[in-house]
Structure 1
């Protein structure tokens, strides 16, 4: 992945910078600014124009795309989304990711695995990132409903997109982008056959939703229910590591 190398020995540079606005969102923000200026300058409707201008600023903020420092360790699975861990459960992988595909690439199987669900509010960064490096072997889009993405059944009933990434060692890792009440479009930045790095941008979901990650057998989550996590930086799990982790809400 392109970027400056930094490590836990203090090597590299750290600086604060304004986050960029992803191109996918610039048009929406500019449309909002244009409408607000028309209302303010042509009609002098300040009671409407200023709230519209603030709303346009909120749209720009929603599509912000900050840089992330991604841990470079082949055994780590990093968070694909900013947000809150709302579910950690043992479930069978989605049917679309279970079996091998037409090219013989293996799926996740049908045995229950640990699923980590990350809920993104409208205040979170909505750029989704690859949980591991490897080859995108499968992208399956499924139309569906737009119920609250925080609900467990949203994984099976909402509009969603499954992505299967095969690591260089041949082990597949699956994740699912799920639309919610407000989110109405899942945007993909990658296609089948692309090679991605861990933490690379792979898509976004407009205006709040959820991302599920399916850990391989024999791997426990390193995050806790209710924990706030950061895409591309928070380590969700280490391959082959099983350990109960407890936390106290304070």
Structure 2
């Protein structure tokens, strides 16, 4: 392999959603160079950051049946028992919610946590408070998906944050989707919530780094007693 091909192999591809933004940053940088060179270099750094933000690296998703993988790159910020949002239709009992917070330096392409069929997609407008706060699950702009599987129904919620102002969802209701498959992204910092079926034990801890499509959040085969899945 040539040196140029080797370098290209190390550079992750860019998601098409990012091209207009990267182009805009690059054009602004050229204008800033014309105004004052130091400003142009600042614009160049921001252009590189924008390209990194929209990176879309290849991920290797575990193939064994029953695993729930992280839908986002970032940090596991919360694991708690809460009532799921009413629009998900997951019942009126508290479920385990695993929250993954994405900073502006994380890859923001979102991936399906399980293999199944998308039963419902519901968008709700809202405010843009810090996505690390617990109340962001209720107050912030969000887009919710319910994915049905043979083991239960999973709720996945894209939550806009303090900086994020645009939630993008590529998936459609009724669509079959595979674990690790891309279904959307959120522009410029936000959070993903995953609501696990009753009896499913989380396998991650608060503070742990999660990789979209690869980090196993839970396993349907392990219930809250660690021995086996308890169906609803």
TM score, norm. by length of structure 1: 0.84
Matches within 5 A, 1:10-49: 17-40=10-33, 43-49=34-40
Equivalent residue in structure 2 for 1:230, among 179, 202, 211: 211
Counterpart CA distance in 2 for 1:244 and 1:120 is 30
- Contact 1:218/1:240 (CA < 8 Å) preserved in 2? no
Counterpart CA distance in 1 for 2:151 and 2:65 is 12
How far does residue 112 in structure 1 lie from its aligned partner after superposition?
1.0
Question: What is the total number of aligned residue pairs between the two structures?
Answer: 218
How far does residue 134 in structure 1 lie from its aligned partner after superposition?
1.2
Counterpart CA distance in 1 for 2:181 and 2:218 is 17
Equivalent residue in structure 1 for 2:143, among 128, 138, 161: 161
Counterpart CA distance in 1 for 2:151 and 2:103 is 34
Structure 2: gaps spanning 5 or more residues: 1-8, 227-232
Deviates more, 1:195-204 or 1:28-37: 28-37
Equivalent residue in structure 2 for 1:83, among 53, 58, 74: 74
- Contact 1:85/1:224 (CA < 8 Å) preserved in 2? yes
Q: What is aligned with 1:13?
A: none
Q: What is aligned with 1:69?
A: 60
Q: What is aligned with 1:239?
A: 220
Equivalent residue in structure 1 for 2:152, among 136, 156, 171: 171
How far does residue 54 in structure 1 lie from its aligned partner after superposition?
1.1
How far does residue 243 in structure 1 lie from its aligned partner after superposition?
5.4
Does residue 113 of structure 1 match 2:95? yes
Structure 1: gaps spanning 5 or more residues: 1-15, 99-107, 246-250
- Contact 1:69/1:232 (CA < 8 Å) preserved in 2? yes
How far does residue 151 in structure 1 lie from its aligned partner after superposition?
0.4
Counterpart CA distance in 2 for 1:241 and 1:222 is 9
How far does residue 113 in structure 1 lie from its aligned partner after superposition?
1.0
* Moved segments of 4+, more than 4 Å: none
How far does residue 53 in structure 1 lie from its aligned partner after superposition?
1.3
TM score, norm. by length of structure 2: 0.90
Q: What is aligned with 2:3?
A: none
If each structure's helix is expressed as a fraction of its own residues, which one has the higher value?
2
Counterpart CA distance in 1 for 2:147 and 2:183 is 11
- Contact 1:136/1:165 (CA < 8 Å) preserved in 2? yes
Counterpart CA distance in 2 for 1:53 and 1:69 is 32
- Contact 1:219/1:237 (CA < 8 Å) preserved in 2? yes
Cα deviation, 1:50-102, whole Å, max 9, x if unaligned, reads 1011111110110000000000122100000011111100111110012xxxx
Q: What is aligned with 1:9?
A: none
